[in-house]
């Protein structure tokens, strides 16, 4: 019981206190130490990033951490290429995944709709700060 309460207090503190290193800013809202330029040794491939995003959101239960990690080294200009590579993909807003019942018609949506639907408000706002031209 005390362990659960301690864990809840610690998580609450981390959410409220934020980062102590100050790495997140208006120029680096994700706190990844980058201003949108790619990391040394990182080879950008929009199709690969789009594939990672689809995999993180494909089934019930979104892997938000995988989404943030996949987009961490992606600049704003590159994000536009990721949206194009993601294409219009079938999404069921009722179930929050790609499962459709026989009477449902699959509707195609672009990446910004998927991200807004799948991410928590705080994670989505982080991405909105990083990619203001697209989200």
The domain containing residue 69 runs over which residues? 42-135
Contact, 65 vs 55, CB < 8 A?
no
Largest separation between any pair of C-alpha atoms in the chain: 52
Query: Minimal CA–CA distance to 122: which of 41, 56, 30?
Result: 30
Q: How many domains does the chain have?
A: 1
Mind listing the pLDDT tens digit for each residue in 29-72? 555 444 445 566 778 999 999 999 988 988 777 899 999 999 99
* CATH number of the domain residue 131 falls in: 1.10.220.10
Contact, 30 vs 24, CB < 8 A?
yes
> Which pLDDT belongs to residue 57?
85
Contact, 49 vs 80, CB < 8 A?
no
Is 64 contained in some domain?
yes
**Start-to-end CA span in the chain (Å):** 41
Rounded-to-integer distance, Cα 19 and Cα 14, Å: 7
Confidence of residue 12 (pLDDT cuts 50, 70, 90): very low
Is 49 contained in some domain?
yes
């Amino acid at each position: 019981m005390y362990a659960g309460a301690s864990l809840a207090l610690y998580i609450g503190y981390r959410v409220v206190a934020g980062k102590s290193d100050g790495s997140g800013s208006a120029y680096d809202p994700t706190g990844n130490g980058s201003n949108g330029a790619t990391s040394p040794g990182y080879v950008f491939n929009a199709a690969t990033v789009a594939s990672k995003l689809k995999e993180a959101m494909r089934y019930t239960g979104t892997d938000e951490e995988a989404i943030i990690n996949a987009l961490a080294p992606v600049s704003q200009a590159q994000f536009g290429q990721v949206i194009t590579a993601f294409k219009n993909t079938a999404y069921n807003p009722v179930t929050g995944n790609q499962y459709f019942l026989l009477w449902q018609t699959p509707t195609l949506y672009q990446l910004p709709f998927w991200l807004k639907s799948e991410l928590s408000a705080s994670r989505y706002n982080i991405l909105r700060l990083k990619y203001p031209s697209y989200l």
